[in-house]
Structure 1
Amino acid sequence: MLKFLSRPAVRLVERYLPDPYIFVLLLTIIAAAAAIAVERQNPLLVMRYWGDGFWSLLTFSMQMLLVLVTGFMLANTPPVKRLLQRLASLAKNAGGAIILVTLVSLVASWINWGFGLVVGALFAKELARQIRVDYRLLIASAYSGFIVWHGGLAGSIPLTIATDGHFTVDRIGVIGTGSTIFSFFNLAIVACLFIVVPLVNRLMLPDEQESVYVDPTLLDDTPEPVGHISRPAEYLENSHILAWLVGIPGLLFLLDHFLLRGGGLNLNIVNFLFLSLAIVLHRTPRRLLDSLHEAIKGGAGIVIQFPFYAGIMAIMIESGLAETLSEGFVSFATSDTLPFWSFISAGVVNMFVPSGGGQWAVQAPVMLPAAEALGADITRVAMAVAWGDAWTNLLQPFWALPVLAIAGLKAKDIMGFCLIQLFITGVVIALGLTYF
C-alpha cells in the first residue's frame, strides 16, 4: 500500500515542488502578505522587519556550511571511508540498504542533529556505491532520520528550559532533561519512530523498473594522487608533521572539553571535531584542501537561502503573525488536547521559522500561559512544540540542503517519499504526546 501511495506523492512533488530557492522566495512573499493582511502591518514596517532581520542568521549560516564541509572532508579520509565501506557491506540487498541507512541516520540525529545530517547522507552515498538501490529513496531515508533530533540529546527546546537563567525561568523554573528528553512519553515516541520510520522507508521501495539508480563511478570523490614534489612550498603542503601539529592539539582540546570541563555537544563542537579529525586523518594539508575543494561545491544553497529564512523569521516574529498562528490553535484546546494542538501549531510555524530555538522564543509566551490556565502538563507542551518543529522538516527543504548538497540531488527528488513519512510520523508523534 505504501509503495502504491508513494508513487503519486513522488510524481506530485517532482512536478510541483520548486527549487528550494524558489520555495524560500514564495515563503517570503506569503509571510509579508500575511503580516499586512492579518496583522494590519504597514508595508513599510514589514519591509523593515525583513531587511533588519535578513542577516541575523549569519553565524548559524556559517555553522551549517561548516557542517557540510567538515563532515564531507572527514568522510573523505581513508580510515573513515574504510569504516563506511565495512558498515555498508552489512546490507546485502536494496531493502537492507534502506533500513540500515535509516537506522544510522536516526541514531546519529538523536545524538546530534548536525552529526546526523552529514553522517546519514555520506553513509547513503557509500551504500549507493556498493548496492543497486533507488538513489532517491536512499537519500530520503537518510534525511528522514532527522525527525528525532528535537527529542534527542541536542534538542534545543529541552536543553533551553534545562539551563539556569533561560528566558522563561520565572514562569516555569528550570526543568531537567529527566522530565523532557528522558521522560517516558518522549522515549516511547523515539522508540516507536525507530521502528516505524525504517519500516515505512522499506515499504516504499519502488519496483526495479520504477527505480532511479546512480552510476557508482559518479559518486567517487577520491582525491588525485600527489605528483612529484619539487618546491619547498609543496613540501609544506604535503607535510604530515605540519598537519599533526595542528590537528592533534585540536583533539586534545576536545578531550579537555568533554572529560575535564564536562562540556556537551553543540554545533561548534561538532564542527571542531569533524575538522580536527579530518586534519589528522588526511595526514597532509594538500589532501585536506583537495577534499575541501570538492566539499564546497554543494554549499551554494546554504549561502544564498539562509538569509532569506532569517528575514522570514523576522517578519513572523516582529509582526506578531507567529503568535497569532499559535493563539489560533490554542484557542480551542483543552488540558488534554493542548499538547496535540501545540504540536500542530509548531509544525505550521516551523514552515516559516525553521529554527528550534527561534520557534520556542515565539511560541513559549503563548503556550506556557495556556498550559497554566488549562492545567496542562508544561513539560509535555514544551516537547510538543519541539516535536512539531522537527516534524515538518520532512516537508521544509531548509534542513535538507546539506544532505542534498552531499548527495547531488534536488529537493523534488526526495520530498515525495518524505511526504508519506510526514503523515505517518505525524500520527505516531501526536498519539504519543496525547496518550503515552
Structure 2
Amino acid sequence: MLQRVSRPAVKLVERYLPDPYIFVLLLTLIAALAAMLFEQRSPLAVMQYWGDGFWGLLSFSMQMLLVLVTGFMLASSPPIKRMLDRLAATARTPARAIILVTLVSLAASWINWGFGLVVGALFAKALARQVRVDYRLLIASAYSGFVVWHGGLAGSIPLTIATPGHFSEDQIGIIPTSQTIFAGYNLIILVALFIIMPLVNRWMLPPEDESVFVSREQLAEPASLDPNAVTRPADRLENSTLLSMLVGIPGLLYLVHYFVFAGGGLNLNSVNFLFLSLAIVLHRTPRSLLASLNEAIRGGAGIVIQFPFYAGIMGIMMQSGLAQSLSEVFVAIANADTLPFWSFISAGVVNLFIPSGGGQWAVQAPVMLPAAEALGADVARVAMGVAWGDAWTNLLQPFWALPVLAIAGLNAKDIMGFCLIQLVVTGVVIGLGLTLF
C-alpha cells in the first residue's frame, strides 16, 4: 500500500518542487505578504524587518557549515570509513539496506543532529556501493532519522529549559530532562519511531523497474594521496603525523576537561570542536585532512546562500507578530489535555518559516507558556510539543536536508516525495504519543 501511495507523491514532488533556493525565495514572499495582510504592516516596515534580520544567522550559518565540513572529514577518515564499509557489507538486499540506514540515522540523530545528518548520508553512500537499491529512497531514509533529534540528547528546547538562567526561568523555573527527554511519553514516541520508521521506509521500496540507481562515478571515492610523494620540504610537513597529533590530541584533552571537569554540555561549538579534533587525529596527516576538506566544502554552497534568507524570514515572522498570531490561533482551540498536541501542530507550521529550534522557542514560548499555566496543562509536555513540531516538519522543509543532499549529490525533489509519506506517518505517531501517554 505504501508503495502505491508513495509513487504519485514522488512523481508530484519531482515535477513541482523547486530547488531549495527557489523555495526560500517563495517563503520570503509568502511571509512578507502575510505580514502585510494579517498583521497590517506596511511594505516599508516588512522590508525593514527582513533587512534587519537578514544577517542574524551569520554565526549559526558558519556553525552549520562547520557541522557539514567537520562531520564529513570525521566520517570520511580511514578508520570511520572502514567501520561504515564493514557495516554496509552486512546489507545483502535492498530491503535490508533501507532498514539499516534508517536505524543508523535514527540512533546517530538521537545522539546529535549534526552527527546524524552527516553519518546517515555517508553511510547511505557506503550502502549504495554494496547493494543495488533505489538511491532516492536510500537518501530519504538516511534523512528520515533526523526527525528524532529534538527528542534526543541534543534537543535545544529541553536543554534550554533545563539550563539555569534561561529566559523563562522566572515563569516556569528549571525543568529537568527527566520531565522532557527522559519522560515516559517521550521515550514511548522514540521507541515507536525506531520500530515504525524502518518498516515504513522498507515498504516504500519501489520495484526494480521503477527504481533509480546511482552511477558508479557519483559514488567514486577521491583518489588517495601517496604519502611517499615528497618532492619538496613542505611535503614533509603536509605528510607529518607528528604535526597532526601535536594539535589533535590537545584538542581532545581540552574537550575531556570541558565535559568532565568544567561541566560543559553538548552544543554546536563543542560538537564541531570534537569532530574537528577527532578528524585531525584519525586522518593522521594534514594532507589527508585537506583532501577530505576539499571534497566536503563543495557541498556547502546551499548553506552559504540560503541561511541569510531564512534569517530574513525569521525577522519578518518575529518582528511583525505573525509567528505569535499563528501560535495563538492554535492555543485558542486547546484545553489542558490537547494543548501539547496543538503546540506540536503550531510548531510544525511555524517551523516552515523559522527552521531553528532555539529561534522558534523564543517566538512560541511567550504564547505557549502563559496558555499552559492558564489551562493547567503540563508545561514540560507543552515544551516538548513545540520541540517535536520543530523536528517533524523538517521532513517537508528542505532547509535541514541541504547537508545530506550535498553529500549525496541529489536535489531536494529527489527525496521529498518519500519524505511526504514519512511526514504523515511520524505526525500520527508523535501526535498520539503527546496526547495519549
Which residue type is aligned with residue 62 of structure 1? M
Superposition deviation, residue 248 in structure 1:
1.3
| 8 A Cα contact 1:89 1:130, kept in partner | yes
- Distance (Å, rounded) in 2 between the aligned partners of 1:260 and 1:381: 33
2:304 aligns with 303
1:161 aligns with 161
The count of aligned residue pairs is 436
- Distance (Å, rounded) in 2 between the aligned partners of 1:374 and 1:279: 52
2:419 aligns with 418
What aligned pairs does 1:30-429 form with structure 2 within 5 A after superposition? Answer: 30-226=30-226, 228-429=229-430
Superposition deviation, residue 221 in structure 1:
2.5
Which residue type is aligned with residue 52 of structure 2? D
| 8 A Cα contact 2:179 2:380, kept in partner | yes
| 8 A Cα contact 1:250 1:276, kept in partner | yes
| 8 A Cα contact 1:128 1:216, kept in partner | no
| 8 A Cα contact 2:75 2:118, kept in partner | no
Superposition deviation, residue 286 in structure 1:
1.2
- Distance (Å, rounded) in 2 between the aligned partners of 1:73 and 1:368: 41
Runs of 4+ aligned residues of structure 1 deviating over 6 Å after TM superposition are: none
- TM-score computed with the length of structure 2 as normaliser: 0.98
- Distance (Å, rounded) in 1 between the aligned partners of 2:7 and 2:131: 22
Which residue type is aligned with residue 201 of structure 1? N
Superposition deviation, residue 244 in structure 1:
1.3
- Distance (Å, rounded) in 2 between the aligned partners of 1:347 and 1:214: 32
Percent of aligned pairs with the same amino acid: 76
* Secondary structure of residue in 1 paired with 2:138: helix
- Distance (Å, rounded) in 2 between the aligned partners of 1:323 and 1:249: 46
| 8 A Cα contact 1:325 1:349, kept in partner | yes
- Distance (Å, rounded) in 2 between the aligned partners of 1:281 and 1:186: 35
Superposition deviation, residue 217 in structure 1:
4.1
- Distance (Å, rounded) in 1 between the aligned partners of 2:296 and 2:377: 47
Superposition deviation, residue 263 in structure 1:
2.4
- Distance (Å, rounded) in 2 between the aligned partners of 1:327 and 1:170: 22
* Secondary structure of residue in 2 paired with 1:41: coil
Most deviating of 261-270 and 145-154: 261-270
Which residue type is aligned with residue 124 of structure 1? A
- Distance (Å, rounded) in 2 between the aligned partners of 1:74 and 1:333: 46
- Specify whether residues 110 and 373 from structure 1 end up closer, same or farther in structure 2 by C-alpha distance, changes over 3 A only: same
- Distance (Å, rounded) in 2 between the aligned partners of 1:265 and 1:167: 19
Most deviating of 198-207 and 265-274: 265-274
- Distance (Å, rounded) in 1 between the aligned partners of 2:320 and 2:220: 48
- Post-superposition Cα deviations, 1:130-189, rounded to whole Å, max 9, x if no partner, equal 111110000000000000001111111111111111111111111000011110011111
- Post-superposition Cα deviations, 1:318-339, rounded to whole Å, max 9, x if no partner, equal 0000000000111111111111
Which residue type is aligned with residue 380 of structure 1? R
- Distance (Å, rounded) in 2 between the aligned partners of 1:353 and 1:262: 31
| 8 A Cα contact 1:371 1:381, kept in partner | yes
| 8 A Cα contact 1:221 1:294, kept in partner | no
Superposition deviation, residue 90 in structure 1:
2.0
* Secondary structure of residue in 2 paired with 1:225: coil
Superposition deviation, residue 23 in structure 1:
0.1
- Post-superposition Cα deviations, 1:308-352, rounded to whole Å, max 9, x if no partner, equal 000000100000000000001111111111111111110000000
| 8 A Cα contact 2:218 2:409, kept in partner | no
Most deviating of 145-154 and 85-94: 85-94
Which residue type is aligned with residue 338 of structure 1? L
- Distance (Å, rounded) in 2 between the aligned partners of 1:80 and 1:223: 17
| 8 A Cα contact 2:158 2:180, kept in partner | yes
- Distance (Å, rounded) in 1 between the aligned partners of 2:97 and 2:286: 34
| 8 A Cα contact 2:31 2:316, kept in partner | yes
* Secondary structure of residue in 2 paired with 1:300: helix
* Secondary structure of residue in 2 paired with 1:328: helix
- Distance (Å, rounded) in 1 between the aligned partners of 2:90 and 2:259: 32
* Secondary structure of residue in 1 paired with 2:18: coil
Which residue type is aligned with residue 388 of structure 1? G
Superposition deviation, residue 243 in structure 1:
1.4
- Post-superposition Cα deviations, 1:33-78, rounded to whole Å, max 9, x if no partner, equal 1101110011111111111110110111111111111111122221
Most deviating of 251-260 and 352-361: 251-260
Aligned-residue Cα RMSD (Å) equals 1.0
| 8 A Cα contact 1:158 1:177, kept in partner | yes
| 8 A Cα contact 2:32 2:46, kept in partner | yes
Superposition deviation, residue 10 in structure 1:
0.3
- Distance (Å, rounded) in 1 between the aligned partners of 2:366 and 2:153: 24
- Distance (Å, rounded) in 2 between the aligned partners of 1:370 and 1:284: 56
- Structure 2 unmatched ranges of 5 or more: none
- Distance (Å, rounded) in 2 between the aligned partners of 1:316 and 1:8: 33
Which residue type is aligned with residue 102 of structure 1? T
1:3 aligns with 3
- Post-superposition Cα deviations, 1:87-133, rounded to whole Å, max 9, x if no partner, equal 11221211011001000110111111111111111111111111111
- Distance (Å, rounded) in 2 between the aligned partners of 1:240 and 1:223: 20
Which residue type is aligned with residue 186 of structure 1? N
Superposition deviation, residue 228 in structure 1:
3.0
| 8 A Cα contact 2:248 2:280, kept in partner | yes
Which residue type is aligned with residue 129 of structure 1? R
- Post-superposition Cα deviations, 1:269-297, rounded to whole Å, max 9, x if no partner, equal 22111111111121211111111111111
Superposition deviation, residue 389 in structure 1:
0.5
